[in-house]
Amino acid sequence: MWSALAGSAFPWEVQLTLLTVSPLILALLISLAIPRRLRGIPYNGGITMWFLGDIPSMVSHIRRKPEMYTWLSAQNVKLGSPIVQVSVRPFAAPWVVVADFREAQDVLTRRTKTFDRATFIKNVFGTLIPHGMITMKSDDPRLHTNKMLVRGFMAPTTLNEAIAPQLYKKTLQVMELWRVKAKLARGHPFEMTEDMANAAFDGIAGAVFSLDDVESIILAQIRLLSPLGSVPVPENDDAAAVHFPKAPMPPIADAIITLTDSIAVAFRSPLSGWHHWLLSQTPRMRKAYAIKEHMITQHLESAAKRLLESPGNITCLLDDLLQNELVAAAKEKRAPDYKSRAVYDELYEMVIGGYETTSATVLWGLKHLSNNQEAQSLLRTELQRALLPQAGHRFPTVEEIIALRVPYLDAVLEEIFRMALSASAHVRTATEDTTLLGHFIAKGTNVFLAINGPGFTSPPFPIREELRSRTSQGAKDEVRDWDFGTLGEFRPERWLVRDELGNETVDLSAAPQMLFSLGPRSCFGRRLGVLSIKITIVCVVWAFDLERVPDELNSFEGVEVLSRTPIQGFLKLRERSFPSAPA
Ligand code: HEM
């Protein structure tokens, strides 16, 4: 630098100033980059920690095991503490990781003014849906407007009458695809991850936009595979998987999935939203964004025309949103504003929120059912007892599935949610200086409430009662002493109890489960997600035996894209004299 300046054309005053100021700027940058610790909260030490914080450790973990959240809760175990701090973002305050059911429940449901929607989440989703509610703090004045737009989405009538038929239609399509694949695979396992993600996309995109069948990824795949008489099958190795050719993605699905999957960059990269914003400027992403916008505009315009002619004819969530806006506009004597950014982002947010989360959860569920043959056959027996009299040799109708009252099915679903860990931590940001488990938490700190470690899937850390918040202490009796000895096992019966009349029912406090989070900012689409998962599980178990997959293809390791998905999503399906579709 000295020699470069000496030969430069700058006047000597400027050179002197640069020489004095540059080291100061460098020192300032270094001091900003050095992780600032929260006093008293355990953290990883060591020389690299001094400057880079935990970034090298996290990056090396993600290289071996592509999951950030398992690394986070592993730090609690490593440091032997229910509360730890990690430093994984340059120039940013450390994150706090809490691994304890009671404290997570307290933060999410009772300390909602002190802990709000996280800036981490805003950075993850902010590039694609800056006007979606998921990016907003609870005191954001836009939140109310957005909530008004989507207020009827999860109403039982909307879900049962308009949305469930869409989800059901798409589920029967994936059943048909798997029938074709199971026949071609001749008893060999095959990968389901992509099919399940595509089916979930078809389902949620159908529910939100009522997309045409030409946009269905699953139908394109059926068209490709059904005419094939055979595919190469490894003859001398029963454990080897069969692979199938893939149909090209329909353009709208391709664009939306490209955009949605790109969010993983913001989630995993130490530069988070910045990194994702840069990626979003590439020609491929810009093109995908333009296709998505054009598709929404077209659907909004045609639905607005249709709803003005015949109000109340709701076929998807977009119709419901428009109907809300038309009613509000008429009431307020103004023109409807159905092309606001809030409208576009809320509609697309439903796809982002519902696509990968739902498919990942179903995949984990199917893996557990294939590994637990007893639970699977008990579920089938219970479904047959409830449905055979009306359904006979066809798939149950969507109305029959909705009306099902089978406690064992509800218990299986609850156990799938508990073990899926497709969302393995919930995040909040402190809105003021406060304390958590006896430690000072500075305003602005991101707090990760890990649900994939101690207190959930393994015994909790012992915590002195006086370290808990006042509200947590007050709710002590709401949380049970669970038997952690069996929590690593898939046991749906843990949720079943007898009520005072002796009827079997599900006890939702029987085990620690908060997959959809808790409190006012928990999952908005939970009901839709549960409905979709219920329809899929019933149809799969009705149509196929899920045989145990050979060990070499049966790992329960996960990969985080946006949700945590199995790395090995193999299933071995045996068709049970395939049911016909309802007339
Ligand atoms: C198995 C399926 C699903 C899982 C595991 C899941 C999980 C979650 C989680 C963990 C959150 C964050 C909650 C928090 O910060 O406390 C969330 C938020 C959200 N989810 Fe889901 N979700 C699922 C399905 C869906 C579906 C189907 C939709 C849309 C139709 C959806 C829409 C949303 C929205 C809009 C939010 C933001 C809510 C807000 O800002 O208040 N989710 N979800």
pLDDT in tens, 41-87: 999 986 556 677 888 888 888 888 888 899 999 999 999 999 999 99
How far apart CA 390 and CA 406 sit, in angstroms, is: 15
**Ligand 1 mean position, distance from CA 531 (Å):** 14
**Ligand 1 mean position, distance from CA 352 (Å):** 9
Q: Supply the DSSP symbol for 161.
A: I
Both tokens assigned to 326 = 């038309």
Both tokens assigned to 23 = 């080291």
Stretch 159-174: mean pLDDT: 95
Q: Which residues are annotated as a binding site?
A: 523
- Give the Cβ contact number of residue 496 at 10 Å: 16
| 3-state SS class at 558 | strand
286 burial type by CB count under 10 A (0-12 exposed, 13-18 middle, 19+ buried): exposed
Residues having CB within 6 Å of any atom of ligand 1: 133-134, 349-350, 353-354, 357-358, 361, 422-423, 426, 515-517, 521-525, 528-529
Q: Which of 393, 379, 568 is nearest to 492 (CA)?
A: 379
Both tokens assigned to 340 = 């606001």
Residue nearest to atom 27 of ligand 1 (CA): 354
pLDDT (tens digit per residue) in 486-542: 998 999 999 999 999 999 999 999 999 999 999 999 999 999 999 999 999 999 999
How far apart CA 114 and CA 459 sit, in angstroms, is: 28
Cβ pair 414, 506 in contact under 8 A? yes
Cβ pair 221, 198 in contact under 8 A? yes
pLDDT (tens digit per residue) in 326-372: 888 888 899 888 899 999 999 999 999 999 999 999 999 999 999 99
Stretch 123-134: mean pLDDT: 96
**Ligand 1 mean position, distance from CA 247 (Å):** 30
Which of 121, 357, 415, 527 maximizes ligand 1 atoms within 8 Å of its Cβ, making it the mutation to test the pocket? 357
- pLDDT bin (cut points 50, 70, 90) of residue 9 is low
Stretch 381-385: mean pLDDT: 96
- pTM for the model stands at 0.92
Residue nearest to atom 17 of ligand 1 (CA): 523
Stretch 240-263: mean pLDDT: 94
Per the DSSP assignment, residues forming a β-bridge with 564 are 560
Residue nearest to atom 11 of ligand 1 (CA): 523
Residue 382 pLDDT exceeds 50: yes
- The larger pLDDT score, comparing residue 441 to residue 575, is at 441
Stretch 8-32: mean pLDDT: 67
Stretch 413-420: mean pLDDT: 97
How far apart CA 53 and CA 62 sit, in angstroms, is: 16
Which of 131, 358, 523, 530 maximizes ligand 1 atoms within 8 Å of its Cβ, making it the mutation to test the pocket? 523
- Of the chain, the end-to-end C-alpha distance in Å amounts to 80
Q: Which of 557, 456, 418 is nearest to 77 (CA)?
A: 456
Per the DSSP assignment, residues forming a β-bridge with 573 are 546
Stretch 119-147: mean pLDDT: 95
User: In this predicted structure, what is the pLDDT of residue 26?
Assistant: 67
Stretch 300-325: mean pLDDT: 90
How far apart CA 112 and CA 520 sit, in angstroms, is: 8
What sign has the CA pseudo-torsion 110, 111, 117, 118? negative
Stretch 209-229: mean pLDDT: 93
Cβ pair 317, 350 in contact under 8 A? yes
Stretch 562-571: mean pLDDT: 93
Lookup result for tokens 């073990």:
419
| 311 CA to centre of own chain | 34
Residue 448 pLDDT exceeds 50: yes
Residue 207 pLDDT exceeds 90: yes
Q: Which of 433, 425, 434, 429 is nearest to 445 (CA)?
A: 429
**Ligand 1 mean position, distance from CA 117 (Å):** 12
Residue nearest to atom 35 of ligand 1 (CA): 524
- pLDDT bin (cut points 50, 70, 90) of residue 392 is confident
Cβ pair 91, 33 in contact under 8 A? yes
Per cent of the chain over pLDDT 70 is 95
Question: Which atom of ligand 1 sits closest to the CA of residue 150?
Answer: 35
Cβ pair 539, 395 in contact under 8 A? yes
**Ligand 1 mean position, distance from CA 379 (Å):** 27
Both tokens assigned to 124 = 């993850």
How far apart CA 35 and CA 15 sit, in angstroms, is: 32
How far apart CA 257 and CA 289 sit, in angstroms, is: 10
Question: Which atom of ligand 1 sits closest to the CA of residue 533?
Answer: 1
Residue 317 pLDDT exceeds 50: yes
Q: To 10 degrees, what angle do helices 283-309 and 272-280 make? A: 80
Q: Which of 484, 441, 524, 509 is nearest to 107 (CA)?
A: 441
Residue nearest to atom 41 of ligand 1 (CA): 521
**Ligand 1 mean position, distance from CA 295 (Å):** 23
Per-chain mean pLDDT for the chain? 91
Phi, psi of 506 (to 5 degrees): -100, 130
**Ligand 1 mean position, distance from CA 423 (Å):** 9
| 3-state SS class at 448 | strand
- The larger pLDDT score, comparing residue 384 to residue 29, is at 384
